């Protein structure tokens, strides 16, 4: 036997060496699926979504994803994309349909909805997914493909308050930062953090966001940071631009205290004055952050209609080379 054939024979007999993380890349999405009256809906394609629809959405649906053609487009896009992990902000919760007058159901998710119908996050993902939402905030949810893993402590396909999170005093009700532990089918645990920073440009809004950043990296509210795992993935709508606003927004500056060069965490999404805007074509406020995962992100258009005011971040992630 030639000497160089021996290692090949041994690998054939005992199998190639591998580690628990010798698995396929992770496909992850963060997506604020909301809309706003502030867009020029009547100037868009002849798709049926008008300023009248926008007024209904704002008053009755909290501007969450509820317009049926957009729900269908989101369903198709997610089926085509096949992500492993998704976090949503501003996604409509079907439990509110009972409080919306029937005359305002037409063209929206509540139209003809059975009482046991899935909420929008579950509906657009389809079978084979587990969805868990923030305490007190059913419009903010995280999801994991069951073939990839499951949320620890969440039984079944939908857990309304299945994530761990706490509100910030004086910053509205419910948890805008929440943590879920994904027990993977292959590979080590992932601590997933979904962030939806408080909106607004007032000093109080900035202070709320600053404290929410500290929930991620200092104390969620239970004595530990939200990102407290051995492998952390932080995603969401930060409602601030850490690459453009660090000199004008204390919450943007606070992100850079924990994320970036010389820190344990880094941005996977682009930051800086030349980063692709993800909100209204103006600023880049939708981000993916990790300590040990690296990759690249794109920002695809899901529907031609003038409906979404954010574009999703679609990222392909792998463990850092040093791992």
Q: What are the average pLDDT values for consecutive 10-residue runs of the chain, which has 323 residues?
A: 37 40 84 95 75 96 97 98 98 95 96 84 97 98 98 96 98 98 97 98 97 98 98 98 96 98 97 93 96 98 94 96 67
Q: In this predicted structure, what is the pLDDT of residue 159?
A: 97
- What predicted TM-score, i.e. pTM, was given to this entire model? 0.92
pLDDT digits (tens, 9 = 90+) for 249-294: 999 999 999 999 999 999 999 999 999 999 988 999 999 999 999 9
Q: In this predicted structure, what is the pLDDT of residue 121?
A: 98
∠ CA 318-319-320, rounded to 5°: 115
Instruction: Tell me if 140 sits within 8 A of 101, measured CB to CB.
Output: no
Give the CB-side neighbour count of residue 239, counting CA atoms within 13 A: 22
List CB contacts of 322: < 8 A, sequence separation 6 or more: none
E strands, 147-270, where?
149-151, 158-159, 164-165, 177-184, 190-196, 232-237, 266-267
**To the nearest 10°, the Cα dihedral for 117, 120, 122, 125?**
130
Between CA 231 and CA 209 the distance in angstroms is 24
Helix (H, G, I), strand (E, B) or coil at 141: strand
Query: Judging by DSSP bridges, how do beta strands 190-196 and 266-267 pair with one another?
Result: unpaired
Spans of all domains in the chain: 24-319
∠ CA 187-188-189, rounded to 5°: 130
Between CA 222 and CA 11 the distance in angstroms is 48
For the domain with range 24-319, which CATH number is right: 3.40.50.11890, 3.40.50.300, 3.55.40.20, 3.60.10.10? 3.60.10.10
Q: In this predicted structure, what is the pLDDT of residue 321?
A: 80
Query: Judging by DSSP bridges, how do beta strands 137-145 and 85-89 pair with one another?
Result: antiparallel
């Amino acid at each position: 036997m030639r000497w160089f054939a021996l290692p090949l024979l041994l690998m054939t007999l005992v199998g190639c060496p591998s580690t628990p993380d010798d698995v396929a890349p992770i496909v992850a999405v963060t997506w604020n699926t909301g809309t706003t009256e502030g867009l020029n809906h009547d100037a868009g394609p002849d798709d049926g979504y008008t300023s009248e629809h926008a007024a209904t959405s704002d008053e009755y649906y909290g501007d969450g994803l509820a317009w049926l053609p957009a729900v269908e487009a989101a369903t198709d896009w997610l089926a085509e994309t096949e992500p492993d992990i998704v976090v949503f902000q501003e996604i409509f919760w079907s439990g509110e349909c009972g409080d919306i007058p029937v005359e305002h159901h037409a063209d929206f998710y509540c139209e003809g909805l059975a009482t046991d119908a899935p909420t929008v996050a579950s509906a657009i993902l389809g079978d084979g997914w587990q969805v868990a939402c923030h305490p007190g905030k059913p419009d903010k949810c995280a999801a994991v493909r069951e073939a990839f893993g499951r949320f620890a402590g969440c039984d079944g396909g939908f857990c309304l308050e299945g994530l761990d999170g706490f509100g910030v005093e004086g910053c509205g009700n419910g948890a805008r930062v929440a943590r879920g532990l994904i027990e993977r089918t292959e590979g080590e645990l992932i601590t997933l953090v979904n962030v939806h920073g408080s909106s607004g440009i007032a000093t109080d809004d900035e202070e709320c966001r600053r404290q929410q950043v500290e929930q991620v990296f200092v104390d969620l509210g239970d004595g530990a940071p939200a990102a407290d795992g051995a492998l952390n993935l932080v995603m969401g709508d930060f409602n601030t631009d850490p690459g453009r606003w660090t000199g004008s927004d204390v919450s943007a500056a606070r992100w850079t205290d924990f994320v970036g060069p010389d820190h344990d965490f880094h941005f996977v999404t682009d930051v800086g004055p030349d980063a692709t805007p993800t909100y209204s074509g103006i600023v880049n406020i939708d981000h993916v952050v990790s300590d040990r995962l690296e990759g690249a992100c794109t920002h695809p258009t899901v529907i031609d209609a003038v409906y979404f005011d954010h574009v999703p971040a679609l990222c392909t992630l792998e463990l850092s080379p040093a791992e």
